[in-house]
């Protein structure tokens, strides 16, 4: 059963909107602190090797410089479990741009200038930063990111491919992508009275607290992480990255002085992860009626030599289409590069680019319409797990999208429609994203005698709308008007919350808040006859597990349609029209929800046409490491983007009936 809605489903304005547009919402770097010291890092100029000489005299002599940190002077960490975080711990250099020193000064200008005076000498060793399909170091990891099986085989795909009446064999590549949220990674770190306070921009305050406490050997009660507003994250602010470590090392070196440290845009290209480039081979085999019999999807990705991260790009192929014979594999190549990480719909975004592009080519090879071809290969149950979907709206999205887009009016023969020198084409692709519920959240709700509720949970708002949507969930669970419900999030002093990742925020936090609300209402009814005692009343709950987890496969789906124009003389590509239809359960807030999908589709358009990190193999750095050269779609690049939601009721996913929508919108756009 899903809970009834009063506030849920309303397109409410963001409660944090006025603060944001008036500039009073405080982001990490803006937290007011006394006598801040400013940090500027020094970055390695080689991709692999050792530091053999350090000269900080000139930097230290600069007026206004407080201290210079190097691997010889910085504090030692207590845990070496995460090699990405061993900053200033040894003379080793593992990738170009790694932090190798830092200057702390009274002003940011002094720190930056003095950092340029630090002299380091290196002994370089040969490096390799290029992903190649035939790389001799490629290996099969134990599992992929997210804990998925590295390989999966059903039936006999090679025999089925050989026997297929229609077949394609296509290799797709995607480049390295960077998250580039508008708010850079920023830290204000203060070590005072044996307690560390960190204001930073993160997807999960408790996650950062645990990782910093472990790294520095501190009792976690001595670490507080505060992050009320985040100006975009896209996965780059989930894990702890070297910027946080450097800020803490600096705070430990200057007890009592708050340290301010924001990454420059250029520094972000080597410090906070990125989406691995991929090489993906997809082979499809069908019978003469266009029924898919075999699918193989073999993925090669890169990781850093110091730490394994394996993008799960073949995993969507385990879910999307029916075929008795199937193989999906992942191989990874360790290189002298920064550690890749999750980025909006990790695995699904590059994986669905390949699979959905191949589906289109296969539809053409089979002489079928790409929409009908997908519908004809819809699986009745989850093809790998054999269990039903809790709800699966792909076919309905394809049909509704085709109707709204005017798909029937297209000319199915490529390169036949011309308009003023432009070739006009149309594309379609599916979107998908799993419904995750991640453990580890708790919520407390307090009610005062005046009937005002305070809901506390250490959740995050990445700019996505949590401040508003979670309050809508709470109001309905409490059966209270929303103006009587106050929400507290973004502080590790609040009850622990799973980080905002895997589009699981509303499912995880919402289910937890509903459980706390049920408990509070029960306590009120049973102990107090429904009236609030003078001292108020409080109830807490842990996140409940989903009892239907083993029964069903749970996914949101969508269908995206694109009109693309290619100039026949210049090759210029324009996308005047994108249209997406999504089946994502109950939409808690159609206004913020629509923004999530608009943003995802725009990011997918940008991925397809504009974004690409260019790595110079001689030096190992991203050459186009700024927003002038790493072009992200601007308003001028984006035409009409339409977002539609189907009314989907799914009683199995969570009490709200909602599915995650933060990542769904980027999946499939590039292929369309």
Q: Which of 451, 583, 438 is nearest to 497 (CA)?
A: 438
- Is the distance from CB of 614 to CB of 177 less than 8 angstroms? no
Choose the stretch contacting ligand MOS; rule: CB under 6 A; options: 289-297, 313-321, 336-344, 625-633: 336-344
Q: Which is nearer to ligand MOS, 340 or 495 (CB)?
A: 340
Please give the structure tokens belonging to residue 434.
């799993």
The CB-of-344 to ligand MOS minimum distance in angstroms stands at 5
First to last CA, the chain: 36
Smallest separation (angstroms) from ligand MOS to the CB of 501: 4
Identified binder of ligand MOS from the candidate list 187, 203, 211, 464, rule CB under 6 A: 203
Query: Using alpha carbons only, what angle is made at residue 329 by residues 332 and 502, rounded to the nearest 5 degrees?
Result: 80
Contact range with ligand MOS by CB under 6 A, out of 166-174, 337-345, 596-604, 612-620 = 337-345
- Token pair 């803006």 is found at 30
Among 46, 102, 342, 430, binds ligand MOS (CB under 6 A): 342
- Sorted by sequence, the CB contacts under 8 Å of residue 140 that are 6+ apart come out as 150, 151, 329, 330, 331, 332
- Least separation, in Å, of the C-beta of 204 and ligand MOS? 9
Contact between 507 and ligand MOS by CB under 6 A: the answer reads: no
**Residue number with CB closer to ligand MOS (239 or 410):** 239
Give yes or no for a contact between 152 and 318, defined as CB atoms under 8 angstroms apart: yes
As measured in angstroms, the least distance from the Cβ of 233 to ligand MOS is 6
344 belongs to the binding site for ligand MOS (CB under 6 A): yes
Q: Near ligand MOS by CB under 6 A, which window of 211-219, 343-351, 444-452, 588-596?
A: 343-351
Binding mask 456-475 for ligand MOS (x = CB under 6 A): --------------------
How many residues make contact with ligand MOS (CB under 6 A)?
9
Q: Is 663 a catalytic residue?
A: yes
Q: Cα(133)–Cα(143) distance, rounded to whole angstroms?
A: 20
Secondary structure (3-state) at 54: strand
Residue 437 is a binding residue for ligand MOS (CB under 6 A): no
Question: What value does the CA radius of gyration of the chain take, rounded to a whole number of Å?
Answer: 26
Closer residue to ligand MOS in complex, CB, 60/438: 438
Strands (E), 499-549: 537-542
Q: Are 89 and 74 in contact (CB under 8 A)?
A: yes
Residue 343, phi then psi, degrees to nearest 5:
-140, 140
Q: Is 501 in the site for ligand MOS (CB under 6 A)?
A: yes
3-state secondary structure of 294: strand
Residue 440 CB, shortest distance to ligand MOS, in Å, is 15
Closer of 29 and 274 to ligand MOS (Cβ):
274
Is residue 401 within the footprint of ligand MOS (CB under 6 A)? no
Binding of ligand MOS by 273 (CB under 6 A): no
Closest CA to 321 of 274, 277, 360: 360
Q: Which of 258, 338, 351, 502 binds ligand MOS (CB under 6 A)?
A: 502
Nearest residue to ligand MOS, scored by beta-carbon proximity: 235
Q: How far is CA 223 from CA 189, 237, 405, in A?
A: 10, 18, 52
Given the rule CB under 6 A, which residues bind ligand MOS?
A: 203, 235, 238, 342-344, 346, 501-502
Residue numbers annotated as active site? 663
């Amino acid at each position: 059963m899903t809970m009834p809605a009063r506030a849920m489903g309303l397109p409410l304005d963001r409660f944090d909107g006025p603060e944001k547009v008036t500039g009073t919402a405080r982001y990490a770097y803006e937290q007011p602190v006394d006598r801040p010291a400013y940090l500027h890092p020094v970055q390695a100029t080689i991709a692999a090797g050792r530091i053999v000489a350090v000269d900080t005299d000139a930097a230290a002599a600069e007026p206004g410089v407080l201290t210079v940190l190097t691997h010889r002077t910085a504090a030692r960490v207590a845990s070496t479990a995460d090699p990405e975080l061993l900053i200033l711990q040894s003379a080793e250099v593992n990738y170009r741009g790694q932090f190798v020193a830092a200057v702390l000064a009274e002003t940011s200008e002094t720190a930056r200038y003095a950092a340029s005076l630090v002299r380091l000498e290196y002994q370089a060793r040969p490096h390799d930063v290029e992903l190649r399909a035939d790389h001799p170091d490629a290996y099969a990891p134990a599992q992929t990111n997210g804990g998925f099986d590295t390989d999966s085989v059903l039936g006999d795909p090679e025999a089925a491919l050989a026997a297929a009446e229609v077949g394609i064999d296509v290799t797709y590549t995607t480049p390295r992508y960077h998250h580039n949220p508008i708010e850079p990674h920023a830290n204000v770190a203060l070590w005072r009275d044996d307690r560390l306070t960190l204001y930073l921009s993160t997807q999960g305050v408790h996650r950062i607290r645990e990782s910093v406490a472990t790294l520095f050997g501190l009792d976690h009660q001595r670490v507080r992480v505060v992050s009320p507003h985040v100006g975009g994250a896209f996965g780059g602010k989930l894990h702890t990255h070297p910027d946080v470590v450097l800020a803490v090392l600096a705070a430990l070196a200057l007890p009592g002085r708050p340290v301010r440290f924001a990454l420059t845009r250029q520094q972000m290209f080597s410090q906070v992860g990125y989406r691995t480039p991929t090489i993906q081979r997809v082979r499809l085999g069908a019978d003469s009626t266009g029924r898919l019999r075999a699918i193989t999807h073999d993925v090669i990705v890169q990781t850093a030599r110091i730490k394994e991260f394996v993008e799960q790009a073949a995993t969507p192929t385990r879910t999307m289409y029916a075929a008795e014979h199937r193989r999906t594999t992942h191989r990874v190549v360790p290189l002298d590069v920064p550690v890749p990480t999750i980025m909006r719909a990790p695995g699904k975004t590059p994986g669905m680019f390949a699979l959905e592009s191949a589906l289109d080519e296969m539809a053409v090879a089979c002489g079928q319409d790409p929409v009908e071809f997908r519908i004809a290969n819809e699986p009745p149950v989850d093809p790998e797990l054999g269990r039903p979907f809790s709800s699966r709206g792909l076919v309905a999205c394809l049909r509704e999208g085709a109707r709204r887009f005017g798909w029937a009016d297209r000319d199915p023969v490529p390169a036949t429609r011309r308009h003023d020198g432009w070739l006009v084409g149309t594309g379609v692709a599916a979107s998908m994203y799993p419904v995750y519920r991640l453990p580890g959240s708790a919520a407390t709700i307090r009610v005062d005698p005046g009937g005002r509720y305070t809901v506390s949970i250490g959740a995050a708002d990445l700019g996505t709308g949590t401040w508003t949507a979670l309050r809508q969930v709470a109001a309905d669970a409490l059966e209270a008007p929303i103006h009587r419900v106050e929400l507290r999030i973004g502080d590790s002093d609040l009850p622990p919350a799973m980080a905002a990742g895997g589009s699981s925020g509303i499912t995880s936090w919402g289910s937890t808040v509903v459980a706390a609300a049920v408990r509070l209402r029960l306590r009120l009814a049973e102990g107090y006859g429904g009236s609030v005692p003078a001292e108020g009343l409080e109830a807490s709950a842990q996140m409940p597990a989903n009892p239907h987890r083993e029964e069903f496969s749970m996914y949101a789906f969508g269908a995206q349609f694109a009109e693309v124009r290619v100039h026949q003389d210049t090759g210029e590509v324009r996308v005047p029209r994108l249209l997406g239809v999504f089946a994502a359960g109950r939409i808690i807030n159609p206004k913020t929800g629509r923004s999530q999908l608009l943003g995802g589709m725009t990011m997918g358009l940008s991925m397809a046409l504009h974004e690409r990190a260019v790595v110079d193999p001689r030096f190992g750095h991203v050459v186009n490491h700024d927003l002038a050269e790493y072009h992200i779609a601007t308003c001028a690049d984006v035409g009409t983007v339409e977002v539609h939601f189907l009314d989907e009721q799914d009683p199995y996913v969570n009490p709200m009936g909602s599915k995650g929508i933060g990542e769904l919108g980027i999946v499939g756009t590039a292929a369309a």
